[in-house]
Structure 1
Amino acid sequence: MVELGAALRSYTVDGRPVLHGFDADDRITGGRGQILVPWPNRVGAGRYRWHGEDLQLPLSEPEHGNAIHGLLRWTSWQVVESDTARAVCETDLWPQPGYPFHLRIRAEYALHDTGLEVALTARNAGGQVAPYGVGQHPYLTVGTGTVDDVVLTVPADTWLRTDDSGLPVAEESVAGTPYDFRAPRSIGATRLDTPFGSLVRDGRGRAVVRLAHPSGEHGADLWLGEGAEYLQIYSGDTLPEPQRRLALAVEPMSCPPNAFVDGTSIVALEPGARHTMRWGITPWHG
């Protein structure tokens, strides 16, 4: 973890990288490990209406005319707790043009025998009801060189068809599409920058995305727990070389793209109220 944006920098188990992260002195590119608050993904044209007020966010994805991935990726967070297996960072999201609300954000990373667990909590520290969403942008690797040979399982019954700006235009069944990974199969040449919904959960209430090495001998499960209702998977096709298709971004999200505009799964965070999203990674050996 780093203080810049409280981004998740690296995770290695038994000498094998689980995350395709970055070195301590590297610039963060491609959203690598970043926390996405107070919205994940995109807001079309950066414009939305909240409680009768029209608001305009900075267009941080100018090539598509969108506001992307929130407002805290390039801010300093403070480490408030740490030991060998746990780190907690906090920061304030202050009222500003386009988002006139005050949130206190807490990111907790904890290592257990079973893997890494992450809890992202927002508290409304202001006096107005605030629109809120959250996500995170880790890239996972199972050591295949590129994502083409990764055997992927995604427990989602629907995908969101998007336009050229990455904004959803319809939610459709994955059945019969290139985005049906309900049964494990290799990614191959499939290009993914795809939101998924209707997540199927296990008895613990978790939706588990599995990445497996083609040998079947090892892999990693990314689970989505409380507050994580949607998922974005990105195969890195638009990243600059040599990063292209080296790792798979598996992004837990509380809401889908453009939720500030259409209201889908947006949290109306009352003054003093809290929202938590939990997710984690469980590496495994066959």
Structure 2
Amino acid sequence: MPSSAFELTAGEASLSLVPGCGGLIHALVLPTAVGPRNVIAGVDPSEWQDNPGYRGSVLFPFPNRLRDGRYRFAGREYQFLVNEQATGTALHGFLYRTPAEVLRGGGDDEAQTVTLVYACDATEPGYPFSARVSMTYTLCASGGLSVEMSVENRDSRAIPVGMGWHPYYTLGVRLDACRLELPPVERVLVDKRMLPTGERVSDTRFAGGGALQEVVLDDCFDLGSEPGRAAAVFTSRTAGFGLELWQETGPGALNFMQLYTPPDRQSLAVEPMSCGIDALNTGDGLRILEPGQSVSGTFGVRVIGC
């Protein structure tokens, strides 16, 4: 069944989501110093259903990779489809292929809001739990988007929860003409299957800013758990503007960030995550929600100068 995009506008800013294909973010136009620009490298409509690269997807009940697609919880073993054959892992849970319901919000000339809701009704073999996931997008005419992702346990038993988002950001130029700045971070070391070894190292490559020329990234960074806001700053003098890609941190918040440079080098994936790689097995950042409990995380993007 063909899907269509849902459009939200606020001044010169606009947001395009595809509810029928996991609520993926297809485009985000923001006003910049050089005029309105689409800062999302989206998916061609012909590929919305398959979505190679999981572009713009909502990640639940785990982001990143799950070893062999398998985990144990409360004494039972569960199995997800292995959808990355090269590493023998499951990637990104199942919301990327789950339709979302659109709940219109409100707003004014300065900001507009919409919420997408996913009903997880215990029919997923790897996750036979009942939960309600919602994504509330607030688009600001001044040049920003904030997103609140929340999960409510609607089951009669405890459930494990990991969550994240998978946008690919573009400044309209190749990455080789861009720079990246990160806060103090530790890089999660991985093996040949891109699974964590249990070790971390301090990574200062982008402290104070560094060029992305010839840099290849597919790395998970631990931001620490101090309450506050952490951000990746992505800029280009060639483009004439930049983006601050922020996420709230703190106990139980979004304390991990995955960075990925796709082979075409036209964009940078900056993925806020509540947990680390293979968290359903390692427990690294995993949340356990009792019946009726909820958890949420907030992240977003803001236009900045160079």
Classify 1:97/1:210 alpha carbon distance in 2 versus 1 (closer, same or farther; 3 Å).
Answer: same
8 Å CA contact retained: 1:138, 1:249: yes
Q: For residue 262 of structure 2, what is the aligned residue in structure 1?
A: 236
1:20 corresponds to 2:45 = no
Match of 1:136 among 155, 165, 178: 165
1:119 corresponds to 2:148 = yes
**Structure 1 residues 172-226: Cα deviation after superposition (integer angstroms, max 9, x where no partner):** 2234xxx62122011111210000003487xx81101100103584100100115
Matches within 5 A, 1:156-235: 156-175=184-203, 180-199=205-224, 205-215=228-238, 217-226=240-249, 227-235=253-261
Q: Name the aligned partner's letter for residue 184 of structure 1.
A: G
Q: CA deviation at 1:83?
A: 4.8
Match of 2:94 among 71, 76, 89: 71
Q: Secondary structure at the match of 1:127?
A: coil
Gaps of 5+ in 1: 238-243
Q: For residue 240 of structure 1, what is the aligned residue in structure 2?
A: none
Classify 1:189/1:199 alpha carbon distance in 2 versus 1 (closer, same or farther; 3 Å).
Answer: farther
TM-score calculated relative to the size of structure 2: 0.84
Q: For residue 18 of structure 2, what is the aligned residue in structure 1?
A: 2
Gaps of 5+ in 2: 1-16
**In the aligned structure 2, how far is the partner of 1:80 from the partner of 1:23?**
25
Q: Name the aligned partner's letter for residue 173 of structure 1.
A: V
TM-score calculated relative to the size of structure 1: 0.90
**Structure 1 residues 203-259: Cα deviation after superposition (integer angstroms, max 9, x where no partner):** x8110110010358410010011521100000013xxxxxx2110000000001111
**In the aligned structure 2, how far is the partner of 1:61 from the partner of 1:48?**
16
Classify 1:200/1:130 alpha carbon distance in 2 versus 1 (closer, same or farther; 3 Å).
Answer: closer
Q: CA deviation at 1:62?
A: 2.4
Moved over 2 A (4+): 22-29, 170-175, 198-201, 214-217
8 Å CA contact retained: 1:156, 1:196: no
**In the aligned structure 1, how far is the partner of 2:216 from the partner of 2:268?**
11
**Structure 1 residues 58-96: Cα deviation after superposition (integer angstroms, max 9, x where no partner):** 212223211110111111111012457221111111223
8 Å CA contact retained: 1:43, 1:257: yes
Q: Secondary structure at the match of 1:171?
A: strand
Q: For residue 90 of structure 1, what is the aligned residue in structure 2?
A: 117
**In the aligned structure 1, how far is the partner of 2:65 from the partner of 2:26?**
23
Decide which structure has greater strand share.
2
Q: CA deviation at 1:148?
A: 2.0
Percent identical residues:
30
**In the aligned structure 2, how far is the partner of 1:88 from the partner of 1:199?**
29
Q: CA deviation at 1:22?
A: 3.2
Q: Secondary structure at the match of 1:30?
A: helix
